Amino acid sequence: MTQAEKKGSKTQERQSSLFIISALSPKVSALVSVGRFFTRKDSEKKRTHSKGKKMGWIGDQIDSIKSLQFRQVLAQAVSLGMIVTSALIIWKGLMCVTGSESPVVVVLSGSMEPGFKRGDILFLHMSNDPIRAGEIVVFNVDGREIPIVHRVIKVHEHQDTGEVDVLTKGDNNFGDDRLLYAHGQLWLHRHHIMGRAVGFLPYVGWVTIIMTEKPIIKYILIGALGLLVITSKE
């Protein structure tokens, strides 16, 4: 074969290769495009799955925190309930020990000055011993809700039963308490007496007076204390 024929043969092979490459090029490009499409889809799925995992984890953490806070608030509410229950139990215990339906009372007026001033707290005790003149007693009057703290100035003893009726008066008042008693009542009977004063604390009861005269302050204090107990992390 001559050199011219060899050159022609090489030229034909080159042209044939170019033709084959040019013919396959669109198909290869299409395959590459399809491969890239599926690769992109897989990447998006992985990213979505990963994002879903992350969002699920965050949601679980938020739910866990919410659950923890609810349990904490519930625990504090139970603690508050236990405190209130304990206070009631202590109060009932004092009633049993002292024999008085109200072991602690607050002086609300100045009728017993200078002995007891407004805001003083009195501790009461009630026994089976007869009440004598000169003792300071706390008593209820029919038709009145607030007890009265006054001194016994006179006693009337029944000879047949041994029961004692009493007449009271405020140390700072001009007359006896018959104007305060129920209509037509001249004496106090034993069931009117809540207890004898056996001790006192000066001015401590002013908190009770303020809360009684201004209920809004009472509600604010109770709400603040309750909120403090519930939200406390201790």
- Map residue 216 onto helix, strand or coil: helix
- Residues 229, 83 contacting (CB under 8 angstroms): yes
Amino acid at 12: Q
177 is catalytic: yes
111 is catalytic: yes
- What CA dihedral angle connects 8, 11, 13 and 17, to 10 degrees? -160
Of 112, 125, 196, 190, the C-alpha closest to 155 is: 190
Q: Which of 79, 120, 127, 150 is flagged as catalytic?
A: 150
Q: Residue 123 forms beta bridges with which residues?
A: 104, 199
Q: Which of 100, 111, 120, 192 is flagged as catalytic?
A: 111
Burial class (CB in 10 A: 0-12, 13-18, 19+), 39: exposed
Tokens of 150: 């006054």
Amino acid at 200: F
Tally the residues of the chain: 234
Q: Which of 109, 120, 160, 177 is flagged as catalytic?
A: 177
Task: Give CB contacts under 8 A, 24+ apart, made by 181-187.
Answer: 181/141, 181/142, 182/141, 182/142, 182/143, 185/142, 187/156
Enumerate the active-site residues: 111, 150, 177
